[in-house]
């Protein structure tokens, strides 16, 4: 039983979460997101993160 629980805790992060965190790092918001959580970021901050994520996704799709 204990082994299954450990495997569940070590799930790979969602690729979208990775992109979101990378965008937050670019904007200098990664520490804030870690300390207070994504929910506590302002609308402006989340909008900027979303714009960067969208740009990265668009670039990935056009390169494929």
4 lies in some domain: no
What pLDDT sits at residue 54? Answer: 95
Specify the number of domains making up the chain: 1
Give the chain's largest Cα–Cα span.
45
Is 24 in contact with 50 (CB distance < 8 Å)? Answer: no
The answer to the question of residue 57 being in a domain is yes
What does pTM read for this prediction? 0.77
> Per-residue pLDDT for 12 more than 90?
no
Q: What pLDDT, on the 0 to 100 scale, is given for residue 6?
A: 55
> What residue numbers bound the domain in which 59 lies?
13-63
pLDDT at 64: 75
Domain annotation covers residue 51: yes
**What pLDDT shows up at residue 13?**
84
Per-residue model confidence as pLDDT tens digits over 21-61:
999 999 999 999 999 999 999 999 999 999 999 999 999 88
- Cα separation, 61 vs 52, in Å, equals 14
Strand segments, DSSP code E, in 1-48 are: none
């Amino acid at each position: 039983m204990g082994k299954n629980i450990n495997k569940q805790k070590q799930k790979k992060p969602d690729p979208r979460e990775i992109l979101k965190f990378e965008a937050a790092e670019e904007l200098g918001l990664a520490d804030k997101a870690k300390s207070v959580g994504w929910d506590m970021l302002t609308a402006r901050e989340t909008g900027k993160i979303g714009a960067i994520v969208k740009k990265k996704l668009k670039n990935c799709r056009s390169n494929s």
